[in-house]
């Protein structure tokens, strides 16, 4: 008997592992009958997951954490036992801002420190001449894009709240807003960066993979209460997603994957735009200049699919840094417990002393124990960045106070 | 004739963010009838936040098909861009209300300070008007597709009459019995006749 699941997603390339798992029949093989529901806003995905319209969702990692902490919205604990993707975002700027940054750049413009310092000089000269502050678009208050933009500019001393304006824009509106001057730049995932370049209204300035080499982006999220009631179903879903991620990462499958994603009911954008992002080879300027980074988007490669609580700690640190929440050791622990490498391992039968979920005895209230066990494993990955002090989840406050722009007070 | 406002305090300022002018009109009319006199409809999504700040509403209603919902989430944040933070009318105690509003396809945001008992009638009205609109649209769709079917069936009958020398009634009986035998709709059988006759032209 197959289990019916409703899963929400936003039409973005980093939903690939979910979409391919369903469209290639990997979920069916696992006994799951999945209905995919495209959504138009992260608020909708969050709310429909919260109230149980969705059993699982393609969710931005910081929203999963904010939901679990009750930051900015109702508190509904969520767990992530599969990373849909690492990286995959880029900073795209208008042709005018691009020219201004290149004019001020001293060194390799692919180096995000060079562009951040150049941005600082552009910001300063605009202030001197009385020009309006630059406006940057991002996708959501609790978004990787918000934190990545802030992290990048703050490293060069640009205060994201004092020196520029950051505004939320739904991804489908990004390109138009750049074209009509509503924003000077944006940070978003693909296809939108490539669409802006193809239309000649934007230049990709930096890949976020050059700013943070391994940044968790989207997770496959479920309510914690649901995970506790349906451990076998969750494990089956993770296995199907792992299967899909492996399939996507084989270069010979890229054309087929791009065709699956290009379908009007999935993303509805040309397959070649999708192929570029999957290959990490993007057209960065309207004149056809290409730039490549094999880590542009990681879907399961190099352990990318396995959740790392250190990544959750980094995102929580950004929330504290920018005043969205106040620091507490309990909240840090709760944030890290959203990411469940133990559930990922258990789904694949890799948990020590067990061969699969049943053998691991991971049922019902064992979930809370497994979260503790996950964190006690001490196998947190490093969270590297292009600038700033070394990130240490065990000394978050030390990390935050040693940053060039110190943390904001939470109101 | 509008009813008296439900409370003596001044009517809360309500903004409706909806790209559908018909649905917004239906909702606005309902609100006015219920005595909520300060209602503004925003149709244009450009500069949404600055428009909302200019109006300075107590309540914002937005349809869930609108990607701009994420823009409103920014209003909860304390920052220079945001003048006064807004809380959403959802708390854990009101699961039924949340469920009903998501089902109806609408979401409400209220400015901190507005009493819960004042928002409830607004939200209830909003939910029922959204549901009424959805029903209306559904009926319209069905009427449209019935009309389409009728046209296709008429053309298929014409083809059968011509090719097989049948009367109109006989052509219809043939269509209907074929549909029953193949467990399909008459419209589908008629459509396949049209397709076949196109191919055989």
Cβ atoms < 10 Å from Cβ of B172: 19
From first to last of its 411 residues, chain A has per-residue pLDDT tens of: 689 999 999 999 999 999 999 999 999 999 999 999 999 999 999 999 998 999 999 999 999 999 999 887 778 999 999 999 999 999 999 999 999 999 999 999 999 999 999 999 999 999 999 999 999 999 999 999 999 999 999 999 999 989 999 999 998 899 999 999 999 999 999 889 999 999 999 999 999 999 999 999 999 999 999 999 999 999 999 999 999 999 999 999 999 999 999 999 999 889 998 999 999 999 999 999 999 999 999 999 999 999 999 999 999 999 999 999 999 999 999 999 999 999 999 999 986 433 333 333 344 334 444 444 554 445 787 888 998 889 999 899 899 998 888 787 765
Whether B90 and chain A come into contact, CB under 8 Å, resolves to yes
- pLDDT reported for residue A372: 47
DSSP for A84-117?
EEEE-EEEEE-HHHHHHHHHH--S-TTSHHHHHH
B94 inside domain: yes
**Among B69, B77, B99, beta carbon nearest to A41:** B69
Q: Are residues B53 and B81 in the same domain?
A: yes
- H or E stretch at A221: strand A216-223
Can you tell me the distance from the alpha carbon of B50 to that of B28, in angstroms, rounded to the nearest whole number?
22
Q: Are residues B150 and B102 in the same domain?
A: no
Can you tell me the distance from the alpha carbon of A154 to that of A136, in angstroms, rounded to the nearest whole number?
14
Q: Are residues B119 and B63 in the same domain?
A: yes
Can you tell me the distance from the alpha carbon of A114 to that of B150, in angstroms, rounded to the nearest whole number?
67
Picking from B19, B62, B67 by the largest number of A CB atoms within 10 A of its own CB, the best residue to mutate is B67
B8 inside domain: no
- pLDDT reported for residue A376: 46
- pLDDT reported for residue B119: 77
What is the rounded average pLDDT of the residues B133-144? 87
Q: Are residues B132 and B148 in the same domain?
A: no
Whether B161 and chain A come into contact, CB under 8 Å, resolves to no
Q: Name chain B contacts of A40, Cβ cutoff 8 Å.
A: 64-67, 69
Can you tell me the distance from the alpha carbon of A50 to that of A162, in angstroms, rounded to the nearest whole number?
34
Residue of A nearest to B109 (CA): A73
- pLDDT reported for residue B189: 93
Residue predicted with more confidence, A382 or B3 = A382
ipTM of the complex: 0.86
B6 inside domain: no
Q: What residue numbers bound the domain in which B192 lies?
A: 142-199
The last residue of one of the domains, among B109, B124, B139, is B139
A182 vs B46: CB contact, 8 Å cut-off?
A: yes
- H or E stretch at A390: none
- Domains of chain A with CATH codes: 3-86+215-259+302-398 (3.40.190.10), 89-210 (3.40.190.10)
B70 vs A74: CB contact, 8 Å cut-off?
A: no
A179 and A115 Cβ atoms separated by less than 8 Å? no
Can you tell me the distance from the alpha carbon of A213 to that of A401, in angstroms, rounded to the nearest whole number?
23
Q: Are residues B121 and B34 in the same domain?
A: yes
Can you tell me the distance from the alpha carbon of A46 to that of A60, in angstroms, rounded to the nearest whole number?
9
Q: Are residues B20 and B77 in the same domain?
A: yes
**Among A48, A161, A171, beta carbon nearest to B79:** A161
Q: What DSSP designation does A251 have?
A: G
| Sequence-separated (6 or more) residues with CB below 8 Å from residue A401 | A407
B52 inside domain: yes
pLDDT band at B6 (very low <50, low <70, confident <90, very high): low
A204 and A313 Cβ atoms separated by less than 8 Å? no
B22 inside domain: yes
Cβ atoms < 10 Å from Cβ of A195: 20
Reply yes or no on whether the pLDDT at B137 is more than 70.
yes
A317 and A310 Cβ atoms separated by less than 8 Å? no
Picking from A44, A70, A175 by the largest number of B CB atoms within 10 A of its own CB, the best residue to mutate is A44
| Count of helix runs (H) and strand runs (E) in chain A | 19, 13
Give me B62's structure tokens.
């937005």
Tokens 């270069």 identify what position? A251
The three-state secondary structure class of B149 is helix
Distance of alpha carbon A39 from the chain centroid: 17
B88 and B111 Cβ atoms separated by less than 8 Å? no
The two beta strands, B86-88 and A89-93, are unpaired
| Sequence-separated (6 or more) residues with CB below 8 Å from residue A397 | A327
The two beta strands, A185-189 and A89-93, are antiparallel
Q: Name chain A contacts of B98, Cβ cutoff 8 Å.
A: 47, 51
Q: Are residues B171 and B113 in the same domain?
A: no
Residue predicted with more confidence, A123 or B143 = A123
Report which of A348, A356, A317, A359 is spatially closest to residue A335, judged by C-alpha positions.
A317
Q: Where residue B67 sits, what CATH number does that domain have?
A: 3.40.190
Q: Name chain B contacts of A178, Cβ cutoff 8 Å.
A: none
A116 and A153 Cβ atoms separated by less than 8 Å? yes
Count of structural domains within chain B: 2
B74 vs A162: CB contact, 8 Å cut-off?
A: no
A334 and A110 Cβ atoms separated by less than 8 Å? no
Whether B74 and chain A come into contact, CB under 8 Å, resolves to yes
B77 vs A172: CB contact, 8 Å cut-off?
A: no
Q: Are residues B72 and B132 in the same domain?
A: yes
The last residue of one of the domains, among B117, B139, B161, is B139
Reply yes or no on whether the pLDDT at B100 is more than 90.
no
Q: Where residue B167 sits, what CATH number does that domain have?
A: 1.10.10.10
B69 vs A51: CB contact, 8 Å cut-off?
A: no
Q: Are residues B115 and B93 in the same domain?
A: yes
Angstroms from A346 CA to nearest CA on chain B: 32
- pLDDT reported for residue B78: 60
DSSP for A309-339?
HHHHHHHHHHHHHTTSS---HHHHHHHHTTB
Angstroms from A269 CA to nearest CA on chain B: 18
Determine if the peptide bond prior to B35 is cis (ω within 30°). Answer: no
Residue of B nearest to A171 (CA): B67
B5 inside domain: no
pLDDT band at B87 (very low <50, low <70, confident <90, very high): low
Angstroms from B118 CA to nearest CA on chain A: 20
What count of CB pairs under 8 Å joins A to B?
76
DSSP for B41-63?
EE---TTHHHHHHHH--SEEEEE
pLDDT digits 0-9 by tens, B103-115: 888 888 877 666 7
Tokens 């009728």 identify what position? B150
Q: Are residues B101 and B65 in the same domain?
A: yes
Can you tell me the distance from the alpha carbon of A11 to that of A303, in angstroms, rounded to the nearest whole number?
24
B74 vs A182: CB contact, 8 Å cut-off?
A: no
Whether B68 and chain A come into contact, CB under 8 Å, resolves to yes
Least confident of A303-307, B17-21, B44-48: B44-48
Report which of A242, A135, A234 is spatially closest to residue A184, judged by C-alpha positions.
A135
- Strand positions, DSSP E, A2-77: 3-9, 32-38, 56-60
Q: Name chain B contacts of A53, Cβ cutoff 8 Å.
A: 102
Region of A110 please: left (phi>0), alpha (psi -120 to 50) or beta.
Answer: alpha
- pLDDT reported for residue B1: 46
The last residue of one of the domains, among B139, B172, B189, is B139
B64 vs A166: CB contact, 8 Å cut-off?
A: no
Picking from A135, A141, A319 by the largest number of B CB atoms within 10 A of its own CB, the best residue to mutate is A141
Q: Are residues B60 and B108 in the same domain?
A: yes
Whether A181 and chain B come into contact, CB under 8 Å, resolves to no
Q: Are residues B34 and B122 in the same domain?
A: yes
- pLDDT reported for residue A361: 37
Angstroms from A76 CA to nearest CA on chain B: 9
**Among A47, A182, A323, beta carbon nearest to B78:** A323
- pLDDT reported for residue A73: 77
DSSP for A172-218?
HHHHHHHHTTS-SEEEEETTHHHHHHHTTS-EEEEEGGGT-TT-EEE
Residue of A nearest to B107 (CA): A44
Reply yes or no on whether the pLDDT at B80 is more than 80.
no
B74 vs A167: CB contact, 8 Å cut-off?
A: yes
Residue of B nearest to A176 (CA): B46
Environment class of A260 (CB within 10 Å of its CB; exposed 0-12, middle 13-18, buried 19+):
buried
| Sequence-separated (6 or more) residues with CB below 8 Å from residue B96 | none
Picking from A6, A12, A43 by the largest number of B CB atoms within 10 A of its own CB, the best residue to mutate is A43
Q: Name chain B contacts of A12, Cβ cutoff 8 Å.
A: none
B23 inside domain: yes
- pLDDT reported for residue A342: 94
B84 inside domain: yes
pLDDT band at B198 (very low <50, low <70, confident <90, very high): confident
Report which of A188, A205, A198, A174 is spatially closest to residue A96, judged by C-alpha positions.
A205
- H or E stretch at A43: helix A42-50
In order of A7, A9, A76, A332, A351, the CA distances from A48 in angstroms are 10, 11, 12, 25, 32
């Amino acid at each position: 008997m197959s289990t019916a699941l409703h899963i929400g997603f936003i039409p973005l390339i980093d939903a690939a592992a979910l979409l391919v798992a369903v469209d290639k029949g990997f979920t069916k093989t696992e006994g799951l009958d999945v209905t995919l529901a495209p959504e138009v806003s992260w608020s909708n995905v969050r709310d429909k997951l919260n109230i149980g319209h969705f059993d699982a969702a393609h969710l931005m990692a910081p929203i999963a954490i904010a939901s679990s902490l009750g930051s900015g919205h109702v508190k509904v604990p969520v767990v992530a036992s599969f990373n849909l993707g690492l990286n995959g975002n880029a900073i795209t700027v208008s042709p005018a801002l691009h020219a201004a940054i290149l004019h001020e750049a001293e060194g390799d413009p692919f180096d995000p420190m060079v562009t951040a310092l150049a941005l600082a000089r552009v910001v300063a000269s605009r202030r001197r001449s009385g020009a309006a502050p630059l406006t940057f678009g991002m996708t959501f208050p609790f978004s990787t894009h918000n934190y990545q933009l802030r992290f990048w500019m703050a490293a060069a001393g640009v205060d994201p709240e004092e020196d520029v304006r950051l505004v939320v824009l739904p991804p489908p509106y990004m390109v138009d807003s750049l074209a009509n001057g509503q924003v000077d730049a944006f940070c978003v995932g693909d296809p939108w960066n490539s669409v802006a370049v193809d239309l000649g209204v934007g230049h990709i300035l930096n890949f976020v993979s050059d700013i943070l080499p391994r940044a968790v982006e989207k997770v496959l999220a479920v309510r914690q209460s649901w995970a506790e009631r349906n451990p076998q179903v969750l494990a089956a879903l993770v296995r199907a997603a792992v299967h899909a991620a492996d399939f996507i990462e084989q270069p010979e499958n890229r054309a087929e994957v791009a065709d699956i994603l290009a379908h009007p009911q999935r993303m509805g954008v040309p397959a070649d735009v999708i192929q570029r992002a999957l290959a990490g080879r993007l057209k960065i300027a309207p004149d056809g200049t290409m730039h490549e980074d094999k880590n542009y988007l990681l879907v399961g490669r190099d352990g990318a699919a396995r959740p790392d609580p250190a990544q959750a700690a980094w995102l929580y640190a950004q929330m504290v840094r920018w005043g969205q929440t106040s620091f507490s050791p309990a909240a840090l622990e709760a944030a890290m417990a959203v990411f469940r490498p133990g559930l990922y391992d258990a789904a694949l039968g890799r948990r020590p002393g067990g061969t699969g979920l049943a053998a691991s005895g991971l049922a019902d209230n064992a979930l809370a124990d497994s979260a503790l066990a996950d964190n006690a494993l001490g196998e947190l990955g490093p969270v590297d960045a292009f600038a700033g002090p070394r990130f240490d989840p065990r000394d978050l406050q030390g990390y935050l106070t040693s940053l060039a722009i110190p943390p904001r007070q939470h109101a | 004739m509008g009813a008296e406002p439900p409370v003596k305090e001044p009517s809360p300022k309500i903004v409706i963010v909806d790209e559908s002018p018909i649905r917004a009109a239906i909702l606005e009319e309902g609100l006015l009838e219920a005595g909520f006199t300060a209602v503004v409809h925003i149709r244009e999504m450009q500069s949404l936040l600055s428009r909302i700040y200019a109006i300075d509403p107590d309540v914002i209603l937005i349809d869930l098909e609108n990607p701009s919902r994420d823009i409103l989430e920014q209003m909860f944040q304390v920052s220079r861009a945001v003048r006064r933070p807004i809380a959403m009318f959802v708390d854990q105690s009101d699961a039924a209300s949340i469920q009903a509003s998501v089902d109806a396809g609408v979401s409400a945001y209220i400015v901190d300070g507005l009493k819960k008992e004042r928002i409830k009638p607004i939200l209830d009205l909003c939910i029922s008007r959204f549901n009424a609109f959805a029903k209306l649209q559904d009926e319209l769709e069905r009427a449209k597709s019935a009309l389409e079917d009728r046209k296709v069936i008429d053309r298929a009958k014409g083809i059968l009459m011509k090719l097989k020398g049948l009367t109109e009634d006989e052509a219809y009986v043939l269509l209907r019995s074929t549909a029953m035998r193949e467990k399909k709709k008459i419209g589908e059988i008629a459509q396949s006749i049209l397709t076949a006759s196109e191919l055989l032209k």
